[in-house]
Amino acid sequence: MRRLEIIGLENIAEVRQGESVARLILNGCSRNDVALLPGDILVVAHKIVSKAEGRIVRLDAIRPSAHAIELARELNNKDARLVEIILSESRRIVRKGGGTIIVETHHGFICANAGVDLSNVGLGLVALLPRDPDRSAREIRVEIGRLGGVAPGVIISDSFGRPWRLGTVDVAIGVSGLKPLKDDRGRNDRYGYELRAAVAAAADELAAAAELVMGKRDGVPVVVIRGYGAEKGEGSVQELLRPEAEDLFRS
């Protein structure tokens, strides 16, 4: 019987700047009586990584530029301080309207508001995405392996909107210890047809599955996924980004 387990780690301590996310995860495993096994995959909400890495900004410390103020007016009087932060986290604006700015971040992600988020960080504070989520995932994985003896795959996740459908879905923004794409091209299906368009975004699928347990208000920032059987390898979230030349929607 094929079986996939999604185990939420509850009662993870509040993260402070400079703290070890790996140690917090291992302590959470102990409190939840979960022993990490070879082949496990950890999905970690980016907020706790951003907090540990000091990627939290106070809005009252921001002085918006003239450009940010003008853009804020265009966007239904959006907070100009927030717009200034979004611009600083972006390579360029892709689309704007309805109070939202769709940008390309410095990581290469196309997303709303550069991933800048006010939820679950405290009043007057905003969380930024980690500067290098792949590196963050790798450091968590290596330290867990050193301290706990098992080095699971690690996915750092965030919620992204989708241009064709309502609602957000969690996706991978950082990966370590597994291949983020599952490529079945060239193989035959059960009827002998050779698969030609069979590349699955496995890391995104795992992040989305984990969010079903994490929720947005439940205080479950880390999930253990067991039984998936991911292809091992260092991996990088950059493998999931469609090259601009192949993107029919970006201009």
3-state helix/strand/coil string of 179-208: CCCEECCCCECCCCCECCCCEECHHHHHHH
What pLDDT score does 250 carry? 66
C-alpha distances in Å from residue 233, one per residue of 33, 48, 74, 236 = 28, 24, 45, 9
* pTM of the full structure: 0.93
What pLDDT score does 189 carry? 77
Single-letter code of the amino acid located at 84 = E
Mean pLDDT, residues 76-86 taken together: 94
Q: pLDDT by residue (tens digit) across 186-195?
A: 677 788 777 7
What pLDDT score does 36 carry? 97
Q: With a cut of 80, say whether residue 213 has pLDDT above it.
A: yes
Q: With a cut of 90, say whether residue 121 has pLDDT above it.
A: no
Query: Residue 169's beta-bridge partner residues?
Result: 160
Q: With a cut of 80, say whether residue 215 has pLDDT above it.
A: yes
Structure tokens at 236: 């990088």
Nearest in space to 53 (alpha carbons), one of 20, 86, 25, 22? 20
Q: Say which DSSP state 131 is in.
A: S
Mean pLDDT, residues 69-86 taken together: 94
What pLDDT score does 104 carry? 95
Mean pLDDT, residues 202-212 taken together: 97
What homologous superfamily is domain 5-53+130-240 in, according to CATH? CofE-like (3.30.1330.100)
Mean pLDDT, residues 208-229 taken together: 92
Q: With a cut of 90, say whether residue 13 has pLDDT above it.
A: no
Backbone angles phi, psi at 204, to 5 degrees: -70, -40
Q: How far apart are CA 249 and CA 251, in angstroms?
A: 7
Between these two residues, 188 and 203, which has the higher pLDDT value? Answer: 203
What percent of the chain has pLDDT above 70?
Answer: 98
Structure tokens at 60: 């009252």
Domain with CATH 3.30.1330.100 in the chain: 5-53+130-240
Chain mean pLDDT for the chain: 92
Domain with CATH 3.90.1660.10 in the chain: 57-126
What pLDDT score does 162 carry? 87
Mean pLDDT, residues 137-156 taken together: 97
Mean pLDDT, residues 49-59 taken together: 96
What is the residue-wise DSSP string for 20-51?
-HHHHHHHHHHHTT----TT-EEEEEHHHHHH
Query: Residue 174's beta-bridge partner residues?
Result: 156
Question: Are residues 206 and 137 in contact, defined by beta-carbon separation less than 8 angstroms?
Answer: no
| Highest CATH level, class, for 57-126 | alpha beta
